[in-house]
Amino acid sequence: MEVNYGNTIPISTVDWHGKVSVVLFLRGCPFRCPYCHNHELLFENGRVGISDIEKAIKKSKPFVSSAVLSGGEPLVQRNASIHLADFAKNNDMLVGIHTNGFFPQVMDEMIRKKLVDKFFIDVKAPLDDVSMYAKAIGCDDFSFSLNAENVLENILRSIQLTLNSGVDLELRTTVFRDFIGTIDNVSKISHSIFELTGARDVPYVLQQGIPDNAIVETMHSMLPYTRDEMLELAEAAHEFLDNVYIRSKEKGNEKVNFESS
């Protein structure tokens, strides 16, 4: 089997908090988020034999406990994702998937086959706001055929089926000044997560967006949020959610302790 493949990070401590992982970046994605910093993975092809990726996993195995499929959107390549997750499982590794949530049917298949231990699902905008989601995935900037209403339906299904499956879940929003990531936006996103899940303790991560490699060039001059500003955003999320993390260049992954604030 050939895989449209980007690259491998042999040892990473940041792609699955608390675990050391080999990270596999698959190419392709149906979205065009204006801030996408991995957009080389969207527009270019790079075919490799799947055995080369297996070799990379084997090489990392002595040093890591898990394999993370990332991208791009890994689940756009269903067969490759299933094969690689199965290979990692057969090598006694945990499997995590970074996904935009657009492929609940593949997620369901992987859950049923017991091929995944954790889904990391993007929540790019409030889950009850179709026009904001359309903006977040690029419908305003790029003309493509996805219907944002259908996109949102799929994402809701992906989150619900993960919750019902018992597979670990992390929801995450990448925040940008002057795009999606104001205090009001974060408050609405967190509220929509609470409304969907009915749980205050679903793990929720605010990721510091770094816009200098965004697809849309006008974003390049945007200043990333500082860590202190990220903490303010976390406070907004805390109105609805208790298990909130921030991820910044300054300090990496931090669980926010609201008791001391």
Instruction: State the minimum distance, in angstroms, from the CB of residue 138 to ligand SF4.
Output: 7
Which residues neighbour 178 within 8 Å (Cβ) at sequence distance 6 or greater? 222
Q: How far is the CB of 250 from ligand SF4 (least distance, A)?
A: 22
Name which of 6 and 203 has its Cβ closer to ligand SF4.
6
Instruction: Determine the 3-state secondary structure of 122 from DSSP.
Output: strand
Q: Which is nearer to ligand SF4, 19 or 37 (CB)?
A: 37
By CB under 6 A, name the binding residues for ligand SF4.
Answer: 29, 31-33, 36, 38, 42, 71-73, 100
Nearest distance in Å: CB 215, ligand SF4: 8
The rounded radius of gyration (Å) of the Cα atoms in the chain is: 18
Q: Least distance in Å: CB of 118 to ligand SF4?
A: 17
Pick the closer one to ligand SF4 by CB: 225 or 240. Answer: 225
* H-helix or E-strand spanning residue 114: none
Q: Write down the least CB distance from residue 70 to ligand SF4, Å.
A: 9
CB of 31 to ligand SF4, least distance (A): 4
Separation between Cα atoms, residue 183 and residue 214, nearest integer Å: 22
Query: How many whole angstroms separate alpha carbon 217 and alpha carbon 222?
Result: 10
Give me the phi and psi of 131, to 5 degrees please.
-70, -35
**Whose CA is closest to 63, among 119, 13, 26, 8?**
13
C-alpha of 207 from chain center: 10
Q: Measured from the CB of residue 1, what is the shortest distance to ligand SF4 in angstroms?
A: 22
Instruction: Give whichever of 212 and 232 is closer to ligand SF4, judged by the CB atom.
Output: 212
d(CA 238, CA 204): 10
Q: Which regions of 85-203 does DSSP assign to beta strands (E)?
A: 94-99, 118-122, 168-175
Judged by beta carbon, residue 32 or residue 118, the one nearer ligand SF4 is: 32
Q: How far is CA 76 from the centre of its chain?
A: 14
Query: Looking at beta carbons only, is 20 or 210 nearer to ligand SF4?
Result: 210
Closer to ligand SF4 by CB, 120 or 245: give it. Answer: 120
Q: Within the chain, how many helices (H) and strands (E) appear? A: 8, 10
202 in Cβ contact with 208 (< 8 Å): no
